[in-house]
Amino acid sequence: MIALSPIHASLFRRSIGCRRGTAAVEFALVVPVFLCLVFGIVSLGAYLTVVHGVQQLAAEAARVAIAGLDDGERDRLARGYLSGNIAYYPLLSPARLTVDRCATDAASGVFSLTLRYDLSDMFIFSLPAFAPAPPRAVVRSAAIQRGGY
């Protein structure tokens, strides 16, 4: 056992009961974890908002396009709907949205529309990777049966 001088012993006894600074230590331990959770929730929410927006656009564009008489007219109707309504989705940019497929399957009579949205410029990909990153492209489809009503 180490022998303490009387000055050190009295200083040690006073510091054992002292609670000043515990809040600062707790704050320093809790805040980084809390901020990681908050930023994780915000970035995942932004990603899910984009995914939901692309799915909604695909579904609505397919509903509008089904009224066309042939695949060419359906394609024009779908693209017109997309260009006119993408502004209602604040996290989506028209330059990043492409139509991958807009055609009717001859065998089944199912009209399908597939949209691809490029996420490579989204802010969540510039954050440090604490968890696996989501894919950099969102691909969503909508299909509507033609005929047989």
**What mean pLDDT do residues 38-66 have?**
92
Whole-number CA gyration radius for the chain: 29
The two beta strands, 97-104 and 137-145, are unpaired
Nearest by Cα to 61 from 99, 118, 108, 11: 99
In a domain, 74, yes or no: yes
10 inside domain: no
Asked if the structure places residue 33 within a domain, the reply is: yes
Domain count, the chain: 1
Residue 6 covered by a domain: no
Q: Is 29 helix (H, G, I), strand (E, B) or coil?
A: helix
Is the residue at 19 inside a domain? no
Q: Give pLDDT tens digits for 101-117.
A: 999 998 888 999 999 99
d(CA 149, CA 140): 26
Residue 81: partners with Cβ closer than 8 Å, 6 or more residues away: 60, 61, 64, 65
Predicted confidence at residue 25, as pLDDT, reads 87
Is a pLDDT exceeding 80 seen at residue 27?
yes
Q: Is 16 part of a structural domain of the chain?
A: no
Closest listed residue to residue 9, CA positions, set 65, 1, 38: 1
The whole-number pLDDT of residue 132 equals 77
3-state DSSP assignment of residue 19: coil
Evaluated on CA atoms 105, 72, 77, 98, the torsion sign reads positive
Q: C-alpha angle with apex 46: 39 to 127, nearest 5 degrees?
A: 45
Q: For residues 91 and 50, what is the distance between their CA atoms, to the nearest angstrom?
A: 6
Is there a contact between 96 and 117 (Cβ–Cβ < 8 Å)?
yes
Cα–Cα distance measured from residue 120 to residue 130, given in angstroms and rounded to the nearest whole number = 18
Q: What is the pTM assigned to this prediction?
A: 0.77
Query: What confidence score (pLDDT) does residue 148 get?
Result: 61
Is position 18 within any domain?
no
- Residue 129 falls within a domain, yes or no? yes
Q: Domain range spanning residue 42? A: 27-145
Q: pLDDT tens digits for 90-102?
A: 999 999 999 999 9
